[in-house]
Amino acid sequence: LDKFRDASGLTVNPQKSVVFFCHTNARTKRDILHRVGYLEGMLPVTYMGVPLITKRLSKADCSPLVERITARANSWVRKALSFAGRLQLVKATLASMQTFWCSTFLLPMSIIQECDRILRRFLWGGNGQGKVKWAEVCKPFEEGGLGIHDLKTWNKALLLKQVWEVLTGKSIWAKWCLSYLLHGSNFWYVPIKKHSLSMNSQ
């Protein structure tokens, strides 16, 4: 770690760092933890609020996202807000809370529906029953809507940025994808696995 600091100029923060072990006996663990002064980490972990997982994203994995949006919406429920005020909060805060997740994962349809339900309930008040269909609300102003992003479409649009990153191959992550996942193959000709098909069908 000292060599890493000297070479990169980056210092590891002990308060934000943990050590993960695999098939390591208790004595070795204890010795390593004593030497580095860090705590032992437990999987799964999160980074910037999203889970670091290698499997398909499940409904349980997304519970922190739903809980955060619900808590934020509930904190405003008792305040005297006009419809215009609620609309602004939906567009500026509640909808934006999903952006980082949407740019990282293809969200399960059940989570998309749950997030839409929270936003709809807050916008219309009460049980969320509005006079206008949510699909119409999510249209641009020019088409008669209120300009709220349709989460399903927004999710796929944000993920296209990841495709662009892979195609340009400029970032370290993109180079890793090209080498480890695509094995140097052309992105457009890589066979789609059944796992990917099940996700794309959403």
Q: Would you list the DSSP string of 21-44?
A: -SS--HHHHHHHHHHH--EEP-SS
Query: Can you name the residues that pair with 51 across neighbouring β-strands?
Result: 46
Cis peptide before 44 (omega within 30 of 0): yes
Mean pLDDT, the chain, whole residue set = 84
Could you tell me the sign of the dihedral formed by the alpha carbons of 2, 19, 38, 33, in that order? negative
Residue 99 located in a structural domain: yes
Asked if 64 and 33 sit in the same domain, the reply is no
pLDDT range class, residue 127, cuts 50, 70, 90: low
Q: Is the pLDDT of residue 199 over 70?
A: no
Whether residues 7 and 82 share a domain: the answer is: no
Which residue would you say has higher pLDDT here, 14 or 72?
72
Q: Helix, strand, or coil here: 18?
A: strand
Q: What pLDDT shows up at residue 201?
A: 40
**How confident is the model over 142-156, as a mean pLDDT?**
92
User: pLDDT by residue (tens digit) across 40-71?
Assistant: 888 777 777 777 776 778 888 888 899 999 99
Q: Is 128 contained in some domain? A: yes
- What is the span of the domain harbouring residue 136? 59-156
Domain count, the chain: 2
- Residues 104-115 have pLDDT tens digits of 888 999 999 999
**DSSP secondary structure letter of residue 56:** P
CA 64 from chain center: how many Å? Answer: 10
Q: Residue range 195-202: average pLDDT?
A: 43
Q: Using 50, 70 and 90 to split pLDDT, how confident is the model at 193?
A: low
- Whole-model pTM? 0.70
Q: Are residues 74 and 29 in the same domain?
A: no
Spatial distance between the Cα atoms of 10 and 161, rounded to a whole number of angstroms: 28
On whether both 22 and 84 belong to a single domain, the answer is no
